[in-house]
Amino acid sequence: ALEALDNTPPALVVTDLSFYRMDGWEFVRQLKHRSPATRVILLTGQPVDVREAREKTGNGVDLLLFKPIHWPELVRAVVDTVH
């Protein structure tokens, strides 16, 4: 997925903190290295230390949302983040 960003960087990425082979923190770090202007919403169902989260991402996460999340909340977050 990261390689695709080199050709067409998205305006927004919504991703989970936990996924296979790489955690969300590393994904965001690499994403922001490749596409600094891309906005990021990170979803998690895990407890997160916000200070640690900022250190891990280099402040690359625009919004951290906690699961469970309802569709209206996610839609509002996307609209607010891209505007």
Alpha-carbon gap, residue 10 to 12, rounded angstroms: 5
Residue-level pLDDT at 43 = 92
Alpha-carbon gap, residue 78 to 75, rounded angstroms: 5
Residue-level pLDDT at 56 = 67
User: Smallest Cα–Cα separation from 63: which of 81, 50, 51, 45?
Assistant: 81
- The gap from C-alpha 44 to its chain's centroid, in whole angstroms, comes to 10
Global pTM?
Answer: 0.84
Mean pLDDT split into 10-residue runs, the chain, 83 residues: 81 89 85 92 86 73 91 96 90
